[in-house]
Amino acid sequence: MASLSARMITALKTAIRREERTSAIYEEKARLATNEKIKAVLESLAKQEMVHARKLQKALEKGDISTIGNKKTSAASIQALSLKNDDIRSMGAQQDLARVIERAIKAEETSFAFYRSLSTISKGLDIGELFSRLADEELKHKARLEAVRARL
């Protein structure tokens, strides 16, 4: 079994931390929400983000993601991976629900782009399929949040 590159391990760990932090912020904002429907959406998203974190953690621990080493992945493509956490940090600082939702939409967009990049780099591998599914789930989260925004 080939070993996983340090950059990919870092990318996975970063993604796990981001999912956990996003979940915590969604939970915090759900506790503060007075609108029951919005509260329910935020609680649901918090749970789903933790599912993402567990999937990523399992993939990291399982070791089968080392098959990424079997694919010719350019160092430049892995180096180009970036994940901005500014949207998550600013979402946590917000008290206004409309701004929380806006920041959450941006966070989901950023997560989608990150997972899509990971999916492209590891295309054809099991982990690539996981990243692709996570990217799709982040788009669904974004759509749910946009529906909430439309009702505000």
The number of distinct structural domains making up the chain is 1
Residues near 14 by Cβ (< 8 Å), separated by ≥ 6?
83
In a domain, 63, yes or no: yes
pTM: 0.74
In a domain, 50, yes or no: yes
In a domain, 27, yes or no: yes
In a domain, 110, yes or no: yes
Residue (of 100, 111, 112) closest to 145 by Cα position: 100
Q: Which helix (H) or strand (E) holds 35?
A: none
In a domain, 1, yes or no: no
In a domain, 31, yes or no: yes
In a domain, 23, yes or no: yes
Q: Which amino acid is at 27?
A: E
- pLDDT of the residue at 80: 47
pLDDT tens digit sequence for 13-71? 988 999 999 999 999 989 988 888 888 989 999 999 999 999 889 888 875 554 333 34
Residue range of the domain that includes 113: 6-151
Tokens 């919005």: give the residue. 38
pLDDT average, residue stretch 104-122 = 89
CATH of the domain at 62: 1.20.1260.10
Average pLDDT in the chain: 78
- pLDDT of the residue at 20: 94
In a domain, 46, yes or no: yes
C-alpha 86/C-alpha 91 separation (Å) is: 8
User: Any alpha helices (H) in 72-125, and if so which ranges?
Assistant: 75-79, 86-93, 97-121
